[in-house]
Structure 1
Amino acid sequence: MFQFSFINQQRNSAMSAILIESYDAPGDGPTVAVKDCIDIAGSATCCGSRALADVAPARDHARVVQALVDGGYRIVAKANMHELAYGMTGLNKWTGPVENPLFPALMPGGSSSGSAAAVAARMVDLALGTDTGGSVRMPAACCGVIGLKPSYGRLSRVGVMPAKSALDSVGIFGREMSVVEHAMAQMDPSFLRLETVGPVSIGAVDVVAAREIAAAVEAALASSGAGIESCRLPAIEDAFQAGVIQMAAEASAAYGHLVASGLLGEDVEQRLRGAPAMATVERLAWAEGVKAAFVAQVDALLDRFAVLALPTLPDFPPRIDDLGDAKAILRLSSLVRPFNLSGHPAISLPLATPSGRPAAIQLVGRRGDDARLCAIARIFADAGSLLQHKEQI
């Protein structure tokens, strides 16, 4: 069995706790950080929670990790996260606060905050995260990197916590599309990179977003050279609410028993205590109906367009000293969470803005057509639309 030798433990220490463990992984392959809810052999998978601090080390790598190792990738670090992947700020009092490397005054976003920040800070070439309600795309947007949520079920979740989820996907963070695509192909051999996609038509979804973000998205669409047509998803707001309900049910089933430990962070404990009341039988039935309607709407648009486009976040990430409005933070996931409910692949691409704050465009593709989605995302990168990363930050 592949094993790592531990060379550094960084809980509550330097580097803003972006990485909570580092490993000696010799070689010259791409370097990878792995979110603390994905198994690394020989390391305890704690999901960023003191309540799980005493779990036994994982015997094996998660399948996605093993696939990368088999391809010569080097797993060099475990990335911090929002506790139990049940929060959007990405901050964690037990493991330490994750700093947003490019935008240090702003929240890094969650729950895969450490993974996004590690890529933004050039600590690693790529990182793995998980996305149940926007937890890859949101921190990618906050930290100014690329974040891919593949089609639901496309990448194995064996060795990923929680073990069961109808919403969650393993996702990839990178600074360049080539890195994201190569990692995707290594973890899923059926992913075949497309060199060209021919003429592209994009459905620009009509949503409410901050004026500067909307302008950045419009400019990126204009520079892509694609045919752009406005469209609507009438059920997107209901799909957001349904996703919140479904995630509450899953979190309660997986982690509700930890409330009695008294070891959870205050924000996560409050959400878990409230989850059963949110995820009633009646509400879950309503959510299933919304899912069916929303999937039908998205699929109908994707019969007309190659991809859909909309802002990743409707507003800019808040300052880390202004995180008191939990409802406003949850609303930041209103444009990403619906596509966890529907299972469509979605990718967040970082955009520059005149004010210097981070914005991002989200592209959504047909279920199972992740390669085409990535190829179209590459068009935006090649057009120079994306936020440019300097060699040093």
Structure 2
Amino acid sequence: MTDPVSPTGWPDPQRAWAFIPASPQPGAPHGPLSGLTFSVKDLFGVAGWPLRASTRAPVPDPGVSPLVERLLALGAAAVGKTHLHEIALGITGANGFGGTDHPTLPGRVPGGSSSGAAVSVALEQVTFALGTDTGGSIRVPAAWCGVVGFKPSKDHPAWPTAGVLPLSVTCDHAGPLARDVATVTRVHEALTGQPVPAAPLNGLRVGLWLPDGWVTANVRAALLDVAQTLHQEGATVHSVDFPEVLDAYSPIVLSEAAQVHHAALNDDDPGFLPFTLASLRQGARLTPEEVQAAHARRADYRTALDHLLTQYDLLLAPAVPTPPPAQGQDEVSLPGGPTPLRRAVLRLTAPFSLLGVPVVALPTRTAFVGAQLIAPRGQDDRLLGVARTLERALGTA
């Protein structure tokens, strides 16, 4: 590992960069993404670059990412690898190399697990960043760093997870972060070869998922402002209910993560941070019956979400429960009472990665508070078109 600095040569006080090569990997000339630069979350295999997953423990080699190769062929240049929450198993940015700090609020977390990805975009060190999202790992850092994050539908052919070190093979997604929806859309259009038309807000049926007690007053106000903007633009907005899904999400993710890292778990002290090691060992102890029951609950939640999305074109939800918390903070104060930070965040974001639907995380008019726009599976292009129109209406680009 090098002692990284930013691609511009500036110091890296946020510890966002995991690997900076002597020179970027250039994109093919005259491609649709020529002139754009991107960072790569250090879960993606890149030819000639190391892969550490921001851990001191040994990790499997996933091979070379076809998504990275495709972006290079389309003309974008890869400038380096960014740090993440260790092996992507967390939402703050803690890792075996000191952890990543917020881009503009020292001492605050940037979100995770795609922490360095969001920081590299927020500081304008790259045009866009490649991240992954298993339970909120693109959307949470996008929200807390004030940028845009896109989690495509599960197994979207333009966003493959081959060549990516898995956390949970049934929940992992690959996707981009950028400063605006237009840039995300440009990358998506290049990958799919299809234009994404702008979509009007007028006539949209929007379900507002804003559970009582789950977010702070300023987050609630920010989401209601987005809802009011949608209403002013001609959408209808109605409150909806959806359950917490962590009783399905956590057993599935932890059991699959333990399978990925089973070789390292044979050692008494493989080098993971204590929380990571404890979580992996917890996953390894789950019985087949417990995991099977979690998958059955997941099927029930999928049926419920599919039914909800027949009644509404989109869902609007908070991406985070609070503004960025302090480094080392394990609990947040919410109207519903003190809540462990991990649960407070994941219960808002995990449903949509567990169930594989596309989501865009957008900045709101309140700094470092993001909103999620959720669409039915396969409606990624329509979602991006709506998100771009809403972004313009909010004036956040």
Q: TM-score, normalised by structure 2?
A: 0.86
CA shift in 2, pair 1:330/1:205, >3 Å = closer
Name the structure 1 match of 2:125.
123
State which of 291, 296, 299 in structure 2 corresponds to 1:289.
Answer: 296
AA of the residue aligned to 1:370: D
Superimposed CA distance per residue, residues 127-170 of structure 1 (whole angstroms, 9 cap, x where no aligned partner):
01110111111111111111111000002111111286010000
Name the structure 1 match of 2:348.
335
Contact in 2 for aligned 1:233/1:298 (Cα 8 Å): no
- Following the alignment from structure 2 to structure 1, what is the Cα–Cα distance between the partners of residues 87 and 199? 39
Name the structure 1 match of 2:141.
139
The total of aligned residue pairs comes to: 370
Name the structure 2 match of 1:10.
4
Contact in 1 for aligned 2:199/2:389 (Cα 8 Å): no
In the alignment, does 2:373 pair up with 1:363?
A: yes
Name the structure 2 match of 1:22.
20
Name the structure 1 match of 2:177.
173
Q: Secondary structure at the match of 1:256?
A: coil
State which of 35, 41, 53 in structure 2 corresponds to 1:47.
Answer: 53
Unaligned runs of 5+ in 1: 1-5, 389-393
Contact in 2 for aligned 1:102/1:144 (Cα 8 Å): no
- Following the alignment from structure 2 to structure 1, what is the Cα–Cα distance between the partners of residues 238 and 149? 24
* Mean Cα deviation higher: 145-154 or 217-226: 217-226
CA shift in 2, pair 1:302/1:381, >3 Å = same
State which of 326, 346, 349 in structure 2 corresponds to 1:319.
Answer: 326
Q: Secondary structure at the match of 1:16?
A: coil
CA shift in 2, pair 1:40/1:68, >3 Å = same
Listed as ranges, the matches of 1:113-262 within 5 Å are: 113-154=115-156, 155-162=159-166, 165-189=169-193, 192-197=195-200, 199-208=203-212, 209-224=215-230, 225-234=233-242, 236-237=243-244, 239-259=245-265, 260=267, 261-262=269-270
CA shift in 2, pair 1:10/1:330, >3 Å = farther
- Following the alignment from structure 1 to structure 2, what is the Cα–Cα distance between the partners of residues 293 and 163? 23
Q: TM-score, normalised by structure 1?
A: 0.87
State which of 68, 78, 94 in structure 2 corresponds to 1:75.
Answer: 78
CA shift in 2, pair 1:59/1:158, >3 Å = closer
Name the structure 1 match of 2:97.
95
- Following the alignment from structure 2 to structure 1, what is the Cα–Cα distance between the partners of residues 80 and 238? 42
Unaligned runs of 5+ in 2: 28-33, 333-338
State which of 360, 375, 380 in structure 1 corresponds to 2:385.
Answer: 375
CA shift in 2, pair 1:170/1:274, >3 Å = same
Contact in 2 for aligned 1:31/1:126 (Cα 8 Å): yes
Contact in 2 for aligned 1:35/1:81 (Cα 8 Å): yes
- Following the alignment from structure 2 to structure 1, what is the Cα–Cα distance between the partners of residues 238 and 308? 11
